[in-house]
Amino acid sequence: MSRSQRTAAFIAGRLASVVLTIAGATLLLFLMVRLVPGDFTSVMLGPRATPELRAQITHDMGLDRSMLEQLWLFTSRAATGDFGEDVVSHRPILDIVLDVIPNTLALAFSALALALVVGIPIGVIAALRPGSWLDNGLALLSISLITTPTLVVSVILFLIFAIGLHWLPVAGAGDPGDLVDRLRHLILPSVALALGWVGYISRLVRAALLDTLAELHVRTLRAYGVSEYRIVGLYALKLALVPVVSILGIGLGDLIGSSVVVEIIFARPGIGSLIFNSIAQRNFPVVQACVVFIVAFYIVANLVVDMINALLDPRIAAGRG
Amino acid sequence: MSGLVATLKGICSEREGRLGLAFTCLILVFALAGPLVSPDPNVIDVKARFAAPGLAHLLGTDNLGRDLLARTSAGTRYALTLAVMIVVISSVIGSLIGIVAGIAGGWVDRAVTAVFDIVNAFPPLILAFALIALYGKGSATFVLLVTVVFIPQFGRMARARAQTLRNLSFIEAERMLAVHPVTIVVRHYLPNVAGPIIVLASMNLPVVIAFEASLSFLGFGVQPPKSSLGTLIKDGFISINQSWWPTVASALVLAIATLGATLLGEALRRVIDPKTAGVR
């Protein structure tokens, strides 16, 4: 097989496994909801359960039909983005979720970008002087950043910059029409979310760069008198970034997960705060839709990352990576 | 005993290990010694609410005038207890499932791996959210549900080890000699899986501590009147305009606990399993 065929086969295999995983996750979610003890309509509706709403839920979700039919109904509707109508606001659940998703995506991607922009240089600086006091200091800083829970970082940032110094806004996502205002509202949450990943990425870059710098082809370059800065900047760093790319998928999933905490602390609308509020109101259809979205996003992000990696490093597609 | 001493020596041979051990001991002493130096964490004294740190209350008081040193200490104790329980239960269950899958192979293995993959398709916090929302709160339920989230990691690790062991000649020999499979598992698989599982468990301890705190902060974990670090941060955060001190105190304890446990876990990995030690 040629290289491009191998890459294509790899991508096809990954696609198939993605479809299976999403199907499996949907099944698990379905079972989780259906296996809750007690009358299902009461569980779904909580204190809102009136006879009319019970009838609506029973009809909407096909509760009067067999389990298999229900599963099919749920899956086929979820696949087309039809999650039914919210019993609280009487809006389509899809619209409710789509309203808040851009906020969460802006938060997650800006945090990831911030983590890369700050984390990569720290890793490079540490790798250039291994064992120096600077390297040791950066190592301790990175580990502290990694281990400090997002919860702690958010609360401390909130205290210092929003309450203490009044530099940045306390709550919300900002005025929808005002880009500057939105950016100002984004700063604290995205820094809070990014700091842990700054530490993680810098450690990863440092280790990968040290590995690369120890390789034979780098030694050859040195023997030819190529300057160290050229070696790092032009050759080594590119290779050292492969492991960074491969954790970005997990990173995005983790960021979306942690965004719940950040969105609650900074009172920011988003999918995390939507889940939180829906759970508080026992509004499970909305929770279910949010979880489907997050899982699909998580899986697809990992798929995209795998593909980028397969293109960057043909060994991965060949199964030797 | 000599093994324990050797492990401790190995941990202390590097600065990170010493630091981790020191932080961890600090947190343990803080958690255990609270009742000795401070009054009952649940005594309400409304007149003394939001008191600043002073002689009567070393860490001040909260919105109901409860002593914060006592509360933070009790909260740390409870948070650590829960985290250790979650890590122990999920590592034991995960190891057993993983070993069975690794030995059995075939469709059992494929089914187990598929379930692990599916569970891993959920971001951990979101899965815990959904489970707790559906199946209710309360400490025992909480421990069990969070355990579900962490089982796959241990399962994968144990499965991989079991697969390599299965084909080794000494295990094949015992199979030929018709030694009972359970005996083989107890005698050979468990001791061989234990090392990496202990390392993974210690690496996961700080993750679980932070996880518990986040869930409790959001109101999905520990329920009043019990308190953990997460609920303390939440209580402090609600009245943050009156007094920032409670929030900072409990947040700092949480940060030191996770940092100490992480450094200690790294050091333990270096000692027990030097091959995989490296960047986190």
**Between A and B, how many residue pairs show a Cβ–Cβ distance under 8 A?**
132
φ and ψ at A92, to 5 degrees? -60, 135
Where is pLDDT greater, at A51 or B20?
A: B20
Residues 9-28 on B with a CB inside 8 Å of A are 16
The string over A110-132, giving b where at least 16 C-beta atoms fall within 10 Å of a residue's C-beta and e elsewhere, is bbbebbbebbbebbbbbbbeeee
Burial group, residue B233, by CB count within 10 angstroms (0-12, 13-18, 19+): buried
CB B97 within 8 A of CB B112: yes
Report the distance separating Cα B93 and Cα B70, nearest Å: 35
Fold of B2-278: MetI-like fold (1.10.3720)
φ and ψ at B67, to 5 degrees? -70, 125
pLDDT in tens, A204-233: 888 888 887 777 777 888 788 777 777 777
A50 close contact with B: CB closer than 8 A: no
B136 close contact with A: CB closer than 8 A: no
What is the model's pLDDT at position A118? 93
What is the model's pLDDT at position B278? 45
Contact check, Cβ <8 Å, B259/A159? no
B277 close contact with A: CB closer than 8 A: no
The class level of CATH for A98-281 reads mainly alpha
- Average pLDDT, stretch B130-136? 81
Residues 228-247 on A with a CB inside 8 Å of B are none
B252 chain-A contacts, CB cut-off 8 A: 152
pLDDT in tens, A234-285: 777 777 777 788 788 778 877 887 888 899 888 888 898 898 888 887 777 8
pTM of the model: 0.83
Evaluate whether ipTM surpasses 0.85.
no
Q: Helices B15-37 and B245-272 sit at what angle, rounded to 10 degrees?
A: 140
Lowest mean pLDDT among A36-45, A91-100, B128-137: A36-45
CB B272 within 8 A of CB B195: yes
- Average pLDDT, stretch A4-23? 79
The alpha carbon of residue B30 and the mean position of all alpha carbons in its chain are separated, in whole angstroms, by 18
Residue type, A36: V
